Amino acid sequence: MASKLFLPFSCIFFLASFVLPVLSHLHYPHLQPHGLLVNSTNPSPFGFLKAMKGCRKGEKLSGIRDLKLYLARFGYLNYQKTTNGQDLDEDHFDEELEAALKSYQVYYHLNATGTLDEPTVSKMVIPRCGFPDKETHHHTNNNSLHTVSHYRFFPGRPKWPRGKRHLTYGFGSRFPTRFMPPIARAFRKWDTASRYFTFSRARSYRSADLKISFARGSHGDGNPFDGPGGVLAHAFAPSDGRLHYDADDRWSVGAVRNAYDVETLALHEIGHLLGLDHSQFQNAIMWPTFRSGVTKGLNSDDIRGLRALYGI
């Protein structure tokens, strides 16, 4: 008969009171193979909208100020004092907020009810690019919005100089090496599609035309990230060249559940770097929102937009 091993009570107490708590605080990054994951239990920064579903003009409700901030952040609301002196900081659903909400609903092909209804909330909580959909101080005109296509340009149509057709890119320090190939693929896809730009990796990050890095929270460009599940990435119009991923979101190579494809976001943000604003065509890579576990490629709307901007 095999002998049994009995641990004294003092040993069991030691294991329970010391070893197990230590183990519970250990981290195993190798068990998270699909991307960067930090503070994954934090609620989405857009989650507050769910508690406000159904609110409408005339109501005063805690959280309406945050709704105004959301719409101001993405270009639908001028954040300033109203003519009657009422401060938009107040939790009051006024006419300006109703108009801004209708503008958002029109942009995303929703019924323009002016009410924070279920379809609108469902759209607003989806993670997205941090670049505004609209410029609140610029009205759309024939130079920036096309009636046949859905692509848009930035106000003033900034673009790279005519003689600057080859652009170099570089990665910031500590950029995960396994995310570099999918970003290089994204550049090759824009190269092939545009028949205008070519790209290559620079010898150093500092010398690159386009600088790509991961960042977290406030990171020095005036556009702080907001943690998991909100703004995923952002880039700047020509010829700034900066592209930032939010390190607090979970990233993957390819379609992985509960993670965002690095290449898909690169295709979108490279479009900004080259001069494209957000498109109102949902199949375009320049559509503003993204879902986890999904990959997406360039669309004819994206390609027509770039060629129209550069007169190709």
Q: What is the pLDDT of residues 139-168, one digit of tens each?
A: 333 333 333 468 999 999 999 999 999 999
Average pLDDT over residues 189-205: 97
Our measurement of the distance from residue 175's CA atom to the centroid of its chain's CA atoms, rounded to an integer in Å, reads 18
CATH code for the structural domain at 166-310: 3.40.390.10
Average pLDDT over residues 37-46: 60
Looking at the predicted structure, is the pLDDT value of residue 296 above 90?
A: yes
pLDDT of residue 15: 35
pLDDT-derived band at 79, boundaries 50, 70, 90: low
Q: Where are the beta strands (DSSP E) in 110-239?
A: 128-129, 166-171, 198-201, 210-215, 231-235
pLDDT-derived band at 138, boundaries 50, 70, 90: very low
Instruction: Single out the residue of 176, 192, 151 nearest to residue 305, CA to CA.
Output: 151
Looking at the predicted structure, is the pLDDT value of residue 3 above 50?
A: no
Peptide bond into 252 cis (omega under 30): no
Looking at the predicted structure, is the pLDDT value of residue 85 above 60?
A: no
pTM to 2 decimal places: 0.77
Average pLDDT over residues 193-202: 97
C-alpha separations of 268 from 59, 123, 138, 199, 278 in Å: 37, 19, 22, 16, 9
Residues in Cβ contact with 41 at an 8 Å cutoff, skipping those fewer than 6 apart: none
Instruction: Look at residue 298 and give its three-state secondary structure.
Output: coil
Looking at the predicted structure, is the pLDDT value of residue 311 above 80?
A: yes
Average pLDDT over residues 125-143: 68
pLDDT-derived band at 256, boundaries 50, 70, 90: very high
Partner residues linked to 153 by β-bridges: 276
DSSP label at residue 16: I
Query: How much of the chain exceeds pLDDT 90, in percent?
Result: 74
pLDDT of residue 195: 94
pLDDT of residue 112: 96
pLDDT of residue 80: 59
Average pLDDT over residues 191-209: 97
Average pLDDT over residues 285-294: 97
Average pLDDT over residues 262-290: 97
CA–CA dist 73, 136 (Å, integer)? 10
pLDDT of residue 136: 45
pLDDT-derived band at 46, boundaries 50, 70, 90: very high
Question: What are φ and ψ of residue 203, in 5° steps?
Answer: -70, -25
Superfamily of domain 47-125: PGBD-like superfamily/PGBD (1.10.101.10)
- Answer yes or no: same fold for 47-125 and 166-310: no
Q: Where are the beta strands (DSSP E) in the chain?
A: 128-129, 166-171, 198-201, 210-215, 231-235, 242-246, 251-252, 260-261
Q: What is the overall mean pLDDT for the chain?
A: 83
95 is catalytic: no
Q: What residues does each domain of the chain span?
A: 47-125, 166-310
Average pLDDT over residues 243-258: 97
Average pLDDT over residues 167-189: 97
Instruction: Single out the residue of 135, 72, 125 nearest to residue 231, CA to CA.
Output: 125
Least confident of 11-25, 109-123, 210-224: 11-25
